[in-house]
Structure 1
Amino acid sequence: MNPARGYAVIDTETTGILTGWRHRIAEIAVVHLDPAGRITDEWVTLVNPDRDLGPQAIHGIRAADARRAPRFEHLAGELVQRLSGRVVVAHNWAFDAMHLRAEFGRLGIDTPFETDAGLCTMRAAGRARLNSGRSLIDCCAAARLSERSWHTALDDARAAGELLGFFLRHAPKAVATTEAQLRAANWAWPRLEPGAVRTVQRTAVGHVEPHFLARLVERMPRDGEPAVDAYLAMLDDALLDRQISATEGDALVEIAHDLGLHKDEVVALHLSYLRDLAREAWADQVVTDEERHDLLTVATLLALEPAIVETILDEERDSVRTPAGERKVGGLTLRPGDKVVLTGDMSRGRAEIAAEAAAAGIRVTTSVSKQTRVLAAADPDSLSGKAKRARECGVPVVSEAAFLKALAALG
């Protein structure tokens, strides 16, 4: 049997623990080490799991990023190429092995990734008597290795790689290569073309996405007025929770392109939209601090200068009330009898939210239909089946915070 060329340290971030519950890999990293334990290469990408992302508070992956990422089937060839001929390593190998088996299994591909096929640095820590807890953080602290951005696939893989290097130097017997690990390294994989996979990384902390207006091209003026009702209707839905998700921004750009709107026309529509809201705010002859704050929020979301709010409020002071049924200041409102659906890992328990909703006359259902008022999501860019169905049915997807605020107002 050929000796391995070195090590491939792998780490995955997943939507949950159990593959039997249809949990998927959402980020994967592979770090190469030479036989002496020196890092020689690294690779990482988010993975579109085609479902909600689960405990986002732990792994920190945004649906706005994951939705742009390749699916596992698109990167399987690249991954095989990076693992072939190397001893596969992970901290808590059994967990990563379970998810790798499940992902390749969905593609009809057998793998060598059984419990004894990978070198587990967690188990090695026990053999080396490191006197630490089982977690990667504890093991690295006991070995006096660097702090990392834990729970990101690349930093966790780097940390496990450094831990392996520590063991190779100080306790080589604890990480001695076994026959099972060499068999896995020399596994006869089916031919998979690596392809030109475009990796997608997490958005850097503090990064500000360009406003969706920046993606609208300048167009030549036209004769006649464009049909804008469809754009305004989508804007209504997008602003229900007083934020515009990446998915909603994409949809607004797409419909503006479909309608042939150029950037100046969209800016004019945004001003008109803000003016309608200001007119509604003056309907009772008083603009409250809450209404003024709401108008400033909308102006910011629509890339309008905040100062324009006071100008428009002054101009609309004496305007008549907007006819019933048009846009209202305050965003999402709920009425007794409305049906709502929840998706994602909420900050509060779903049973608690459902009980509060029921007390206010709101029915929380498990499936989306055209009769659903809104889908409340832990992440408004959710990739869940419910979110996909909501977008197909034209049901607005709003944030958990906006839904709970509207629920509290109704209660």
Structure 2
Amino acid sequence: MNSGIATRRITEMPVAVIDFETTGLTPGFDRVVEVAVVRIDPGKSPRLVFDTLINPCRPMAATEVHGISDADVASAPKFKDIAGELLTATQGCILAAYNVYFDIRFLNYELANAGVMHQPPHFCLMYLRTMLGLGTRCKLEDACRFHSVEFASSHFASQDALAASQLYACYLSEIQRQGVATFADLANLRTYKFNSSFGCSPFPDPTTFGLRRFDKLVSRAGVAAPVDPTRQAIAAYWDALKTVLADLEITEEELEYVAAERARGGLQEEQIRVIHARAFVSVLSQFAADRWIDDRESRKLKRLNACLAKLGWAPGM
């Protein structure tokens, strides 16, 4: 990696923590319905710089996870409307997300629709925890609890991005303690797919892509998340499952982690079937996007099916 940000010092690089709420797991079929950006400039505290609901131009789905309805987004902007604002908020930054493999796929899809074909440097806060030897992969809520970061399990993009940014502050201290200076040094700790993005350059000024500013945002900021035990249980199980699906290398330990979350939430069998069906269809559609499913992908699908079966239901049962 001889270009991009690989040789930049981590402590001197601004970070934009992003979080999306979506209608599901599959970019294209599913769409973004909320986006938030928390920016962390060197030496400064995290600050929420962008937050809006998005009209997905399709019927709402996954309301049981994020609580967003069709009525909530009826007057919200479309993603292409706010693309310039989003790039302004993230300009010059390396992007971070708690499950970056999920968020970056949606970001790339939505920006491509807005005419932006640019791969920004990015890293995953969920995997950064394992890179630094701080623990195994887990939900954002569990990581916050472990590192004493205040977190309200809400699936409000702004609240989740703020919590993730506080986690980054904890991890940055550990990065400095371990003497990891540059992003190239970080990549040497452990091999993950996002390491290759360190050879990319941050987003430039949005006018580079002909994008304009847009100020008609619709935010849930200041709205208290409703207390709904069923929705919280569904969201918690969804998050646990999405965590282990990040790389589709599902270990027995991870399977036990998801099983414990299911037992804790007390979800009904019908609810489990819906969640598992969505997860399997999403992975299948990703693999089939190039109209070819190779042996490696076939093995991953079989493993996923077996894991979902152990958790209570899988396609074909």
Structure-2 separation of matches of 1:78 and 1:192: 12
Contact 2:154 2:225 in 1 (8 A): no
Structure-2 separation of matches of 1:52 and 1:106: 18
1:195 paired residue number? 213
Higher Cα Rg: structure 1 or 2? 1
* Distance verdict in 2 for CA 1:175–1:100, change over 3 Å: farther
1:132 CA drift (Å): 4.5
1:11 CA drift (Å): 0.4
What is the letter of the counterpart of residue 183 of structure 2?
T
2:154 paired residue number? 150
Secondary structure class of the residue paired with 1:171: helix
Indicate yes or no: 2:20 matched with 1:12.
yes
Contact 2:126 2:137 in 1 (8 A): no
Q: Superposition pairs for residues 174-193 of structure 1, below 5 Å?
A: 176-178=182-184, 180-181=197-198, 183-185=200-202, 190-193=208-211
* Distance verdict in 2 for CA 1:144–1:188, change over 3 Å: same
Structure-2 separation of matches of 1:196 and 1:19: 24
1:204 paired residue number? 223
Q: Which has the higher contact order (CA 8 A, sep 6+)?
A: 2
1:185 CA drift (Å): 1.5
* Distance verdict in 2 for CA 1:206–1:183, change over 3 Å: closer
Structure-2 separation of matches of 1:138 and 1:175: 27
Structure 1 residue aligned with 2:50, among 33, 43, 47?
Answer: 43
* Distance verdict in 2 for CA 1:176–1:139, change over 3 Å: farther
Deviation sequence 1:268-318 (CA, Å, 0-9, x none): xxxxxxxxxxxxxxxxxxxxxxxxxxxxxxxxxxxxxxxxxxxxxxxxxxx
Q: Superposition pairs for residues 6-405 of structure 1, below 5 Å?
A: 6-20=14-28, 22-36=29-43, 38-113=45-120, 117-172=121-176, 176-178=182-184, 180-181=197-198, 183-185=200-202, 190-202=208-220, 204-205=223-224
1:337 paired residue number? none
* Distance verdict in 2 for CA 1:81–1:175, change over 3 Å: farther
User: Which segments of 5 or more consecutive residues in structure 1 lack a partner in the other structure?
Assistant: 208-346, 352-411
Structure-2 separation of matches of 1:175 and 1:94: 24
What is the letter of the counterpart of residue 82 of structure 1?
A
Query: Which TM-score applies when normalising by structure 2?
Result: 0.58
Deviation sequence 1:169-202 (CA, Å, 0-9, x none): 1234579534843633155763334323211123
Deviation sequence 1:16-63 (CA, Å, 0-9, x none): 00115x100000000010224621443200000011221111111122
Structure-2 separation of matches of 1:138 and 1:132: 10
* Distance verdict in 2 for CA 1:80–1:182, change over 3 Å: farther
Secondary structure class of the residue paired with 1:13: strand
1:257 paired residue number? none
1:298 paired residue number? none
1:165 CA drift (Å): 0.6
Contact 1:5 1:86 in 2 (8 A): yes
Structure-2 separation of matches of 1:81 and 1:205: 28
What is the letter of the counterpart of residue 195 of structure 1?
R
1:167 CA drift (Å): 0.6
Alignment size in residue pairs: 208
User: Which segments of 5 or more consecutive residues in structure 2 lack a partner in the other structure?
Assistant: 185-195, 227-268, 274-317
Structure-2 separation of matches of 1:176 and 1:142: 26
- Bigger share in helix: 2
Secondary structure class of the residue paired with 1:119: strand
Structure-2 separation of matches of 1:38 and 1:206: 24
